[in-house]
Amino acid sequence: MPHYFDAAHREEIETLRQRLTARTEWPTWLLLIGVYSAWFALVLGSDSLGLWLSTLLLIPVVVLWLSVQHELLHGHPTRWPLLNKILGYAPFAVWYPYTLYRDSHLLHHRDEDLTIPGRDPESRYLNAEQWEGSSLFEQGLHWLNKTVLGRFLLGAPIALLTLAREELQRLKSGERQAWLMWLSHGALTLLMLLFIARYSVLPVWHYLFLISVPALSIAMIRSYYEHRPHAAPEQRTVLNEAAWPWRWLFLNLNFHLVHHELPGLPWYDLPRAYRARREQWLARSGGFLVQGYGQLWREHGVKAIDSPRHPFH
């Protein structure tokens, strides 16, 4: 628990951890069952639902699955990483193997490195060398990716191209772990796509590009402005008071500073922890507050929120 928490705050967090809900993790178990059930029901029932209704319903299920995987890698609903890995290894979202997501995301939680290119694996910024080495076209793409509309339309393709470049390099260099990861993920993905082709009306290409990519694009909205460059690491992470549909879809990760300071706190306790100490959290963040994703759309739909070049790295 962070050292700057006073005794009363520590007691509040410990009380949350001792509740029956937290000890049994039943909300996360229920969520896991629900997402698996919804995915299979929609795929198997797609003949009755039709292609486009199935598509519209599957996209949020896949977005929610990405949020569930995030909970699993942070130690929920069990204390055993291997069991959580098994529970979260299903390739519903296709592109990112669970272990790759887990390992890079846990590195992202080194708050002293947040936003710093080359040190934060989830940084959306470029250092001076990267920026100056980019073509005008690439710089333009980076600027567009700093708008909400650009992030929604270009964020997923840019992320997937970056992923392909980095992982192909690892495979070419013969990294054993990378080969094992991609072979196992690829085999499961192939089985999933064969299942879709056999038991649904969804063409494989349709699932890949009109379900999984749009789901990733929606997830990109969550990460659009989670972090900003700042000299103080604790003031680099946002508090976003989003409306309930987004909070549910992203499992309360909009309270992102609370999550970074208390990464072991489960998704269902983040709002309670935030509301109990809202003014303290706002002070801790240096006033880094967003009044929901609608504010971001209104103010930065087509206007870059900041520069893609990191201001001091």
Which residues of the chain, if any, have pLDDT below 50?
Answer: none
Which strand (E) or helix (H) includes residue 107? helix 98-108
Cα distances (Å, whole numbers) of residue 283 to 9, 112, 305: 15, 18, 22
Whole-angstrom distance, CA of residue 220 vs CA of residue 144: 14
State pTM to two decimals: 0.94
Maximum Cα–Cα distance across the chain: 58
- The tens digit of pLDDT for each residue in 5-23 reads 878 888 888 888 888 888 8
Query: Tell me, what's the pLDDT at 100?
Result: 96
Structure tokens that stand for 112 in this block: 């002293």
Query: Tell me, what's the pLDDT at 1?
Result: 64
Whole-angstrom distance, CA of residue 239 vs CA of residue 259: 10
Cβ contacts of 107 within 8 Å, gap of 6 or more: 113, 120, 121
Q: What's phi and psi for 240, nearest 5 deg?
A: -115, 110
- The tens digit of pLDDT for each residue in 211-262 reads 999 999 999 999 999 999 999 999 999 999 999 999 999 999 999 999 999 9
Query: Tell me, what's the pLDDT at 3?
Result: 67
Whole-angstrom distance, CA of residue 55 vs CA of residue 68: 20
Alpha carbon 67 to its chain centroid, in Å, reads 6
Q: What's phi and psi for 213, nearest 5 deg?
A: -70, -45
Q: Tokens 């700042």 appear where?
A: 230
Q: Tokens 């990716």 appear where?
A: 145
What is the Rg, in whole angstroms, of the alpha carbon atoms belonging to the chain?
20
Residue of 111, 123, 30 whose CA lies nearest to 71: 30
Domain boundaries, the chain: 7-300
* 245: exposed, middle or buried (Cβ count in 10 Å: 0-12, 13-18, 19+): exposed
